[in-house]
């Protein structure tokens, strides 16, 4: 599935942030996903960790209409006038945050916009792992769009457990 830059990377950043457990990892996660963030205060990291809980609700929601309502609230709380930017030697690209906004504003706009694009492309492409006890979220970029698990490891555990249950029965 081909996403635009916000739908692909923005949605992936949203998933990565939701899967974080420590605010200390926020800056590295943003940088690992190509965001040009040089530094971050502890308060900014905590604000992004709070935002990730709102992002999680989008991944966890299976009803498309409710998912869209949740995303529209995220967009309303994060959006500003889009503009084209050319920075750090990158080609022209859209930004959805205020030009002089904080890193928190940037992350909110980027992740809300990315998830919105992903859901508009195919609302079933964002989800939570189906393995009982696993709460990892993911964006399904597979060709057929039928991903149910966050990883091969989780899928294998479920399939092996199902196989063993059938053999025992």
Judged against a pLDDT cut of 80, whether residue 7 lies above it is answered with: no
Residues 168, 116: Cα–Cα separation, whole Å: 44
Judged against a pLDDT cut of 50, whether residue 90 lies above it is answered with: yes
Who wins on pLDDT, 99 or 157?
157
Judged against a pLDDT cut of 60, whether residue 137 lies above it is answered with: yes
Q: Report, as an integer, the average pLDDT of 23-27.
A: 96
Judged against a pLDDT cut of 90, whether residue 89 lies above it is answered with: no
Taking CA atoms, 163 is separated from 4, 121, 146, 148, 155, in Å, by 39, 35, 21, 17, 12
First to last CA, the chain: 40
H helix or E strand, kind and range, residue 133: none
Domains in the chain and their CATH numbers?
Answer: 5-124 (1.10.3300.10)
Taken in order 142, 148, 149, 150, the sign of the CA dihedral is positive
pLDDT band, residue 126 (cuts 50/70/90): very high
Q: Report, as an integer, the average pLDDT of 3-23.
A: 82
Q: Report, as an integer, the average pLDDT of 79-84.
A: 72
* pTM of the predicted protein model: 0.84
Judged against a pLDDT cut of 80, whether residue 83 lies above it is answered with: no
pLDDT band, residue 58 (cuts 50/70/90): very high
Judged against a pLDDT cut of 60, whether residue 4 lies above it is answered with: no
């Amino acid at each position: 599935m081909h996403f635009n830059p916000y739908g692909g990377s923005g949605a992936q950043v949203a998933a990565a942030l939701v899967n974080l457990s420590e605010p200390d990892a926020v800056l590295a996660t943003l940088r690992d996903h190509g965001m040009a963030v040089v530094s971050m205060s502890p308060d900014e990291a905590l604000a992004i960790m709070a935002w990730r809980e709102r992002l999680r609700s989008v991944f966890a929601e299976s009803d498309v209409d409710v998912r869209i309502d949740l995303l529209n609230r995220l967009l309303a709380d994060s959006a500003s006038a889009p503009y084209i930017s050319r920075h750090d030697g990158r080609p022209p690209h859209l930004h959805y945050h205020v030009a002089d906004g904080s890193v928190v504003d940037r992350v909110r706009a980027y992740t809300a916009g990315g998830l919105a694009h992903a859901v508009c492309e195919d609302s079933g492409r964002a989800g939570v792992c189906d393995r009982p006890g696993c709460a990892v979220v993911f964006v399904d970029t597979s060709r057929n769009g039928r991903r149910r698990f966050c990883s091969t490891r989780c899928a294998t555990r479920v399939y092996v457990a199902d196989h063993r249950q059938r053999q025992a029965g």
